[in-house]
């Protein structure tokens, strides 16, 4: 065999060896070692990498303890679980040497202050007033000459636009639009309309048309200034006096655009019946606001992960008044879990589910997990996930890990959930790391 053939054979063997090692389980487990760990101060975290070697793990004992030891370095069998106990918040490093000699990895450890919240599950009524006047459609107005037109459409206004001011006067109530139209009728000067589209402010001129039948000046627009509906409270953070609910953004039912909140309230609500979910047809909770029920909190933000605002005291009818620790997104795992929700009256109950898939998300994103209802009692009562259940807290291993967000239309026993971490960020209690609606014509 000549030298070229030997080189080719050696290269082939080398490729086979690299591929074999690369796809072997121990190598993949080594590759799965994180570059960074996030911990809550005072909460022990168990790690398990399943690598059949011993290693020397070195930490700052003032910040971290390994397996309860106060030693700086400890020999650890990486094939067995070991624990980290963070003693104080801050940043440190954990160094791993294989066989106690070979430097393998330096893992950045970020310890944040402990955070505990009271899980919700209560059905709440939601009332939202938008920050302006939402355009939800066009209609034709017949003028004095019998011609039909829509002045708003002619001015370039589209569905989903948010009218912020007319003649530089801020406006967020439908009845105020008529006052500006009457003023136009007297002055015969086009209205100067400022509107928001795609986050950008724009201006246009709009001349209302006199509707001979209604004897009023009209814009030829369907408009709306508020929305109402039912959802579920996810958590209350007593130390910060804030709450999170719904787990998804509130959108206008006609335009499917997120509602920009001007002001809003959440109120006590009572479930009176359940319209069960069926394949192809999601069900819903039928609920009503509790008569003379007190306001639970205000609504300050409407984000992709729900609604958030101030709440001055713990809500009543909690499943438990005990606060629970929360989990980071990377700590949620496939397996058994529970949800808290109301199926009758105001009683919060606990039901079994399975987290069947967990998405790896390094930053805020919806659809963090796929869940399946396994509790026969809940299936018999609701058929699965129903509208109004969004925001129901998801618990796993004694921690709040997420919230129910959507139902699968073709399999109502299953749906999506979001990670609680993203909701806590939007509520402002965790720092970010590296309804039925009606419209009026105008």
CB 148 within 8 A of CB 212: no
Together in a domain, 254 and 349: yes
Residues 213 and 233 in one domain: no
Indicate if 211 and 276 belong to the same structural domain: no
pLDDT recorded at residue 437: 39
Kindly report the CA angle at 108 between 59 and 91, in degrees rounded to 5?
A: 75
**Which of 193, 219, 245 represents a domain boundary (last residue)?**
219
Q: Which H or E run includes 184?
A: helix 174-187
Residue with tokens 């066989």: 99
Residues 279 and 375 in one domain: yes
In contact, 311 and 415? CB cutoff 8 Å: no
Are residues 309 and 404 both part of a single domain? Answer: yes
Please spell the DSSP secondary structure of 261-324, one letter per residue.
Answer: EEEEEEEEEEEEEEE--BTTB--EEEEEEPTTPPEEEE--EEETTEEEEE-SSPPSS-S-SS-E
Residue 193: predicted pLDDT: 95
Query: Is 130 within a domain?
Result: no
398 burial via Cβ count (<10 Å: 0-12, 13-18, 19+): exposed
Percent of the chain with pLDDT over 90: 56
If you write DSSP's letter for every residue of 256-267 in order, what string do you get?
Answer: -PBP-EEEEEEE
Q: What pLDDT is stored for residue 33 in this prediction?
A: 72
Q: Is the pLDDT of residue 23 over 80?
A: no
Domain check: are 168 and 255 in the same one? no
pLDDT at 234 over 70: yes
pLDDT of residue 4: 60
Higher pLDDT, 25 or 337: 337
Instruction: Output the pLDDT for position 40.
Output: 92
For 309-318, letters b (16+ CB in 10 Å) and e give: bebeeebebb
pLDDT at 12: 52
Question: Is the pLDDT confidence value at 7 over 80?
Answer: no
- The owner of tokens 């009818």 is 317
Q: Is residue 248 among the annotated active site residues?
A: yes
Q: Which residues contact 243 (CB under 8 A, 6 or more apart)?
A: 120, 233, 234, 235, 236, 237, 266, 296, 297, 308, 309, 310, 311, 315, 427
Q: Is 254 designated active site?
A: no
| Domain shared by 51 and 168, yes or no | no
Per annotation, catalytic residue among 161, 180, 225, 248: 248
Number of DSSP helices (H) and strands (E) in the chain, helices first: 6, 33
CA atoms within a 13 Å half-sphere pointing along the CA-CB vector of 89: 6
| Domain presence at residue 260 | yes
How high is the mean pLDDT of the chain? Answer: 87
Does residue 134 belong to any structural domain of this protein? no
pTM equals 0.85
pLDDT at 145: 73
- Residue at which a domain ends, from 54, 80, 114: 114
- Residue 15 pLDDT: 44
CATH of the domain at 62: 2.60.40
Is there a domain that residue 435 lies in?
Answer: no
Instruction: Label residue 54 by pLDDT band (50, 70, 90).
Output: confident
List the single range of 69-73, 131-135, 165-169 with lowest mean pLDDT. 69-73
Annotated catalytic residue, options 390, 392, 414, 435: 390
Catalytic residue among 252, 331, 375, 426: 375
**Boundary-marking domain end, from 201, 219, 237:** 219
What's the rounded mean pLDDT across residues 33-60? Answer: 86
Its sign, for the CA torsion 115, 118, 120, 126, is: negative
Q: Are residues 161 and 96 in the same domain?
A: no
Tell me if 372 is assigned to some domain.
Answer: yes
Question: Does 198 lie in the same domain as 69?
Answer: no
8 A C-beta contact, residue 287 and residue 420: no
User: What pLDDT shows up at residue 438?
Assistant: 44
The whole-number pLDDT of residue 363 equals: 87
Residue numbers of the domain that contains 157: 140-219
Domain assignment of residue 11, yes or no: no
- The domain tally of the chain equals 3
Same-domain pairing of 363 and 256:
yes
- Please tell me the predicted confidence (pLDDT) of residue 279: 85
Distance CA(338)–CA(36), nearest Å, equals 29
In a domain, 261, yes or no: yes
Q: Which range, 4-8, 57-61, 203-207, is most confident?
A: 203-207
Residue 249 exposed, middle or buried by CB count within 10 Å (0-12, 13-18, 19+): middle
- What CATH number corresponds to the domain at position 305? 2.40.10.120
121 and 105 belong to one structural domain: no
My answer on whether 366 and 423 are in the same domain is: yes
Q: Which of 22-31, 184-193, 356-365 has the lowest mean pLDDT?
A: 22-31
Tens digit of each residue's pLDDT (9 = 90 or more) over 377-429: 999 999 999 999 999 999 999 999 999 999 999 999 999 999 999 999 999 99
| Across 101-110, average pLDDT | 88
Question: Which segments within 139-247 are labelled E, that is strand?
Answer: 141-142, 148-149, 162-166, 169-170, 191-197, 200-206, 209-211, 216-218, 221-237, 242-246
Q: What is the CATH number of the domain that holds 196?
A: 2.30.42.10
Q: Which range is least confidently modeled, 213-217, 282-286, 349-353? A: 213-217
The mean pLDDT value for 269-280 works out to 90
In terms of pLDDT, which residue wins out, 392 or 313?
392
Is residue 226 part of the annotated active site? The answer reads: no
Tens digit of pLDDT for each residue in 276-289? 988 888 889 998 88
Tell whether the torsion through CA atoms of 418, 422, 424 and 427 is positive or negative.
negative
């Amino acid at each position: 065999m000549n030298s070229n053939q030997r080189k080719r054979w050696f290269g082939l063997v080398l490729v086979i060896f690299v591929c074999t090692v690369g796809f072997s389980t121990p190598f993949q487990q080594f590759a799965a070692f994180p570059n960074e760990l996030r911990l809550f101060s005072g909460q022990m975290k168990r790690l398990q990498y399943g690598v059949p070697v011993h290693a020397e793990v070195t930490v700052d004992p003032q910040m971290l303890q390994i397996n309860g030891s106060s030693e700086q370095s400890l020999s650890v069998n990486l094939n067995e679980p070991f624990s980290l106990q963070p003693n104080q918040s801050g940043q440190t490093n954990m160094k791993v040497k294989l066989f106690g000699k070979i430097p393998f990895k330096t893992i950045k450890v970020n310890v944040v202050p402990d955070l505990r919240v009271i899980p919700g599950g209560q059905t709440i009524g939601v009332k939202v007033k938008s920050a302006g006047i939402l355009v939800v459609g066009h209609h034709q107005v017949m003028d004095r000459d019998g011609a039909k037109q829509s002045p708003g459409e002619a001015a370039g206004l589209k569905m989903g636009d948010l009218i912020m001011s007319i003649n530089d006067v801020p406006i967020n109530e439908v009845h105020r639009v008529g006052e500006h139209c009457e003023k136009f009728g007297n002055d015969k000067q086009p209205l100067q309309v400022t509107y928001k589209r795609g986050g950008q402010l724009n201006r246009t001129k709009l001349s209302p048309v006199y509707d001979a039948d209604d004897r009023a000046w009209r814009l030829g627009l369907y408009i709306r200034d508020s929305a109402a509906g039912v959802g579920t409270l996810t958590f209350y953070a007593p130390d910060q006096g804030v709450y999170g609910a719904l787990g998804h953004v509130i959108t206008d039912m006609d335009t499917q655009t997120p509602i920009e909140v001007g002001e809003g309230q959440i109120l006590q609500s009572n479930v009176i019946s359940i319209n069960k979910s069926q394949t192809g047809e999601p069900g819903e909770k039928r609920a009503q606001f509790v008569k003379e029920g007190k306001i639970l909190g205000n609504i300050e933000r409407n984000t992709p992960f729900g609604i958030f605002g101030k709440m001055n005291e713990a809500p009543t009818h909690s499943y438990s008044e005990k606060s629970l620790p929360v989990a980071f997104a990377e700590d949620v795992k496939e397996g058994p879990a529970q949800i808290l929700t109301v199926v009758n009256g105001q009683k919060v109950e606990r039901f079994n589910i399975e987290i069947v898939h967990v998405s790896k998300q390094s930053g805020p994103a919806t659809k963090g997990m796929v869940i399946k209802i396994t509790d026969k009692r809940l299936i018999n009562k609701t058929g699965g996930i129903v509208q109004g259940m969004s925001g129901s807290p998801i618990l796993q291993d004694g921690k709040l890990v997420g919230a129910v967000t959507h139902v699968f239309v073709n399999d109502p026993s299953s749906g999506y959930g979001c990670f609680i971490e993203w909701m806590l960020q939007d509520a402002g209690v965790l720092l970010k790391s590296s309804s039925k609606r009606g419209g009026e014509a105008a």
